[in-house]
Amino acid sequence: MKAISLLLLRAGTGLLMVIWGLVRLLNPAMGAGVSSKYYDGLGASGTIQLIWGIALFLVGILTVLGLFRRVVYPAQAVILVTGALSIWKYLLDPLGLWLLEKGSSQILFFPSLTVAAATLVLIAFRDEDALSLDAKRARG
């Protein structure tokens, strides 16, 4: 059961990265809009969006496959935890009751907390992920 749970966490967090990478690759303006609105314009240029899209896509694919986990999982954690921290107001006040105005609240951001925690679980149980390609390679 643990191996299947870790596989599902890898698939879920990795596919999220793949989707966001593809969004930035196929529609850099959308990624730039997100950067402008929620990250104070950090990385809003088209070139940065393309580079960031490639990075997200690669980290996501490698996560899903369970390859190079000692490097990829921490990279994914930095991306997802930093992303969650940057929208802290939305996490602390998803209904717009005290930090945000009702019209600017965004309940759909709340799962960012779960996704960030999921990537930390992947790191904590990395050596027990028997269904990863890294584990298969190690078994020979």
Q: What's the pTM value of the predicted model, to 2 decimals?
A: 0.90
Question: Residues 12-39: pLDDT tens digits?
Answer: 999 999 999 999 999 988 888 888 877 7
Question: Residues 32-86: pLDDT tens digits?
Answer: 888 887 777 777 888 899 999 999 999 999 999 999 999 999 999 999 999 999 8
Report the 10 Å Cβ neighbour count for 53. 20
Question: Residues 62-75: pLDDT tens digits?
Answer: 999 999 999 999 99
Torsion of CA 40, 43, 49, 55, to 10 degrees: -110
